[in-house]
Amino acid sequence: MKYEARDDAGWITFDRPEAMNSLPVDELQRFVDLLGQAEDERAAVISGDEGVFSAGGDLSELVEIDGHDDAERFASALVEAIHAVEQLDVPVIAAVEGPCYGAGFELLVACDLAVAGEDAEFGLPETDIGVFAPHTVERVQGLAGRKRTTELAMLGGPIDADTAQDWGIVNSVVDDGDAEEAAEEYLDEISSLDRRALRTTKRRIRARLESPGEQEVTERSMAYHLTTEESRRRVEEAYER
């Protein structure tokens, strides 16, 4: 994972293309640390190397989960990363190219703004491996409605970029390969805004999303699902595919 300060923003790039930019626990924890570095910038941008945003949690790590402690470690890292995006005082922009699944999709939904290349795909395969999307189902329901959220979470997708825009999941769709350039255009507009007003605006928008104790409850529930016999079987099957 790379961090670069440019254009008044902290740019975080997922750079495990050999694993479709999947996110093991240590990468999720590093993501939170890097995101904190953007606190003094006007915005943060999240993208992925080589035409892939992120395939989600690292199946090679998930298949090795052995007991509640391992499951809780993964669940805690993921939920903390999602909340870190929402709780950062500056706007976070997602520049999405290619696959955006699972944990990657969760991080996208937590972002304040998102632009996608026309070939981007979005999906939530969690239910298929015996777990659930710990954050997104509540957030997407407010954007896309209950039935669309049910389709996405239960049937797994994927949906294409135009559908994601129609559902309110991304703000705009651009030519394939142009997502980062479009994110820079958002940054140009953000850089002209009053810094204090910008931060206050994000805090007020964020206030509608917060629920007391939500993070702890979500972590416990996800850790439980990751340790069930059915989930372990499904994770192993998914990994072998």
- Establish if 218 belongs to a structural domain: no
pLDDT digits (tens, 9 = 90+) for 131-180: 777 677 778 888 888 899 888 888 867 999 999 999 999 999 999 999 99
- Is 202 a domain residue? no
Whether residue 79 is contained in a domain is answered as: yes
The Cα–Cα gap between 3 and 200 comes to 25
Q: How far is CA 153 from CA 119, 212, 230, in A?
A: 21, 24, 18
The whole domain housing 76 covers 2-190
How confident is the model over 187-215, as pLDDT tens digits?
A: 999 988 898 898 899 888 887 666 655 67
| CATH number reported for the structural domain that contains residue 164 in this entry | 3.90.226.10
Instruction: Decide if 240 is inside a domain.
Output: no
Three-state secondary structure string covering 23-86: ECHHHHHHHHHHHHHHHHCCEEEEEECCCCCECCECHHHHCCCCCHHHHHHHHHHHHHHHHHHH
Distance between CA atoms of 164 and 172, rounded to whole angstroms?
Answer: 9
| Percent of the chain whose pLDDT exceeds 90 | 56
Does any domain span residue 85?
Answer: yes
Residue 216 belongs to a domain: no
**Residue 233 resides in a domain:** no
Q: Is the pTM of this model over 0.85?
A: yes
Dihedral (CA of 28, 33, 20, 55) sign: positive
CA dihedral 105, 111, 115, 116 (to 10 degrees): -10
133, 143, 148: which is closest to 112 by C-alpha? Answer: 143
Structural domains of the chain, count:
1
